Amino acid sequence: MAKRLNKGKKQADLLTDQDIEREIERLRNSEAVKLAQAEQRYKYRRRQYCYQLRWMENRGEQLMAMGINSVEDIENGALDRLGIGADPDDE
């Protein structure tokens, strides 16, 4: 295991810029840091997916309130009849 610089002391007071760069490089190569980064990415993706599902649930409830209750309604042109069809920017 690599030695940590100035453990237990105020590092900001004791480390030079060069020391900081060496410490950053050591940490970048640390398996523990790589593992924690992977965990952070996983949690972020799951959180984003949860937010997307919440948005879709709210949007589905809005569509149901407008009388669109199935995929078949959408396929049969219900969105166009309500004026909420294709985005004009897509054309």
pLDDT score, position 88: 55
Looking at per-residue confidence, does 58 or 89 come out higher?
58
**Residue 74 pLDDT exceeds 60:** yes
- Could you give the CA distance from residue 67 to residue 61 in angstroms, rounded to a whole number? 10
- Could you give the CA distance from residue 34 to residue 28 in angstroms, rounded to a whole number? 7
Element (H, E) at 23: helix 17-28
**Nearest 5°: CA angle at 16, between 12 and 19?**
100
* Mean per-residue pLDDT over the chain, rounded: 86
Instruction: Please tell me the number of Cα atoms within 13 Å of 1 on its side-chain side.
Output: 4
- Could you give the CA distance from residue 73 to residue 67 in angstroms, rounded to a whole number? 9
Q: Where are the domains of the chain?
A: 17-90
